[in-house]
Amino acid sequence: MIDQIAPGSTPALKADVLVEALPYIRRFAGKTVVVKYGGNALAGASEGDALALFAQDIVLMHAVGMRPVVVHGGGPQISDLMKRLGKVTEFRNGLRVTDAETVDIARMVLVGQVNPQLVAAINVHGPLAVGVSGADAGLIVAAPRHPELGFVGDVTDVNPTIVNRLLNEELIPVIATIGSDLSGQAYNINADTVAGAIAEALGAEKLVYLTDIEGLRRVVDDPTSLIRQTTPDELDALMANGTINGGMIPKVESCVHAVRSGVGRSHILDGRIPHVLLLEVFTDAGIGTMVKPNTEPATTPFSATTPFSATTGALL
């Protein structure tokens, strides 16, 4: 005789989790999700298997029909190689000057070390991930931010054709954030900014930042001040009053811009939490900080009078 599966038992809980995921799997099938994996989260990954867990999440999203795109940073890894090479970083007005040698080092680290690390972790699960840099097929066109900063670039144009082609082949693009100007000169570009620009260019459903803090705090030093949900207008005010500092600035700016430009939701999540992506995408539990539009178009409530297909149940 087959044993009964008792409610609350481990198998029953597993079934509950899968059932809870079902509406999310259906809602996000075919949708593009851009995930920025922070250099700090990655640096921490070497201490455990966080990178392997991240790769599992990306592969699972892909397996259920989503179109994940990974964008990564590598600031700590660049600083590390600079130190090992004995290269002293020059700061001007608090900003790192990127000379020709430094941008070479950044490219070596991002394209030669961090990118293949992510690609390899994903491809443990099958031939899925392809690494590209912003210089490939004109993906990210850059221009100098300021003459005094050298090869620190801003994004001036995104040509997402190469990413769309990979997605259409059911591959997972993994993007290193080196951009190129029209003469072929490489620039180091902030990975948060690139992730936002790519999400916009792809018309992504979601833009997700995985970082090393639980989300956006209303008071930087107070871990209990997590902002769970916010809007571009509220974030503008928080930027203006100095709540948002340092590495959080380009994330918030990009979330605001992306959501105003049609990306459905932006999220700032703690990349140190195992499977944080799955928790965000496939469960009812809200996690980290979610940015949604100031006003959302009213969704048509389902009612008995709403016409729908008797055979498929789909709304007509």
Partner that binds at residue 217, options Mg ion, ligand ADP, none, CB closer than 5 to 8 Å by kind: ligand ADP
Q: Which is nearer to ligand ADP, 195 or 201 (CB)?
A: 195
167 part of the interface to ligand ADP, by CB under 6 A: no
Residues 180-209 that bind ligand ADP (CB under 6 A): 192
Shortest Å, Cβ 114 to Mg ion? 13
Partner that binds at residue 254, options ligand ADP, Mg ion, none, CB closer than 5 to 8 Å by kind: none
Shortest Å, Cβ 10 to Mg ion? 39
- Out of 138, 144, 247, 274, the only residue in the binding site for Mg ion (CB under 5 A) is 247
Shortest Å, Cβ 62 to ligand ADP? 23
Residues 73-92 that bind ligand ADP (CB under 6 A): 73
- Out of 39, 179, 264, 288, the only residue in the binding site for ligand ADP (CB under 6 A) is 39
241 part of the interface to ligand ADP, by CB under 6 A: no
213 part of the interface to ligand ADP, by CB under 6 A: yes
Helix/strand/coil (H/E/C) assignment for every residue in the chain: CCCCCCCCCHHHHHHHHHHHHHHHHHHHCCCEEEEEECHHHHHHHCCCCHHHHHHHHHHHHHHCCCEEEEEECCHHHHHHHHHHCCCCCCEECCEECECHHHHHHHHHHHHHHHHHHHHHHHHCCCCCEEEEECCHHHCEEEEECCHHHECEEEEEEECCHHHHHHHHCCCEEEEECEEECCCCCEEECCHHHHHHHHHHHHCCCEEEEEECCCCCECCCCCHHHECCEECHHHHHHHHHCCCCCCCHHHHHHHHHHHHHCCCCEEEEEECCCCCHHHHHHHCCCCCCEEECCCCCCCCCCCCCCCCECCCCCCEC
Return residues touching Mg ion (CB under 5 A).
247
